[in-house]
Structure 1
């Protein structure tokens, strides 16, 4: 069984765009993951720990045969391969990969919550998710992305379109 899942990617250390590109490439190279679509890239101010450089953020849609836990493990391995070091909560990082949505599943484990618990509160996630989202209401929430963005108007000012990353899927260029 295959599932469509959505992953948020962010980077604020070194060559940020290259880290995003490498993460996409590595995820797509996994035998159980196929990247279907990528969002535009947005530059955003840091949240939480603010004494750090701006982030580049994006969202990718993937098709996977992996369970949600296996997909999370694959994402964490890519973070590790790209030099992610966890020292400061919400601190600087070469790459951050968060599993936002996994089909229409609701999962609540100690190490994994789907939908991502901060999904509806972060414009830096909602704006790029809106680029690749297929459908109306978000699963579980039963509201559209636009609905949640309407409550984040002040926060949304910190989300600026930065550009795109060249990415081709098996069927041609990504729909970003």
Structure 2
């Protein structure tokens, strides 16, 4: 053995006649084809959180803002010269502002995209927002609920579990009635 890879005698490799193949050279050639010689870029920024839950907010009311904090993790000051996007897909029920465009962030410093929920209809509402800072892409999920108000005169709306219990009770009563009916049909007078 001459190092990590040994010389192995072979008659043909890829259709070429050869008495010996240096496997280290072959593997190096294959690796050069498969692995680009590009320096891997580490991210310059991180964001947190990536999922925002606004909870229950009544129709027509605007929630408190929730910040998505963008932090410079590059170890050097970064000029945020290219900030794009950030608006929620559902701009009817969600809104947002940011304080990042055009500023210089020192290493470890932060800026924020702030989102709010201002529902126009009842039920669970979701959206997302995507943005990029100096070419680095980010995505945020937005979620908020609007309580469903019961009609006048109705004090509460049954939950799914309550509906299932009522259904099982009705089925049990029906099965019991069938069983009693069969028992009497078999008795002769």
TM-score between both structures, scaled by the size of structure 2: 0.24
Bigger proportion of residues as helix:
1
Higher relative contact order (CA 8 A, sep 6+): 1
Bigger proportion of residues as strand:
2
The structure with the larger Rg is 2
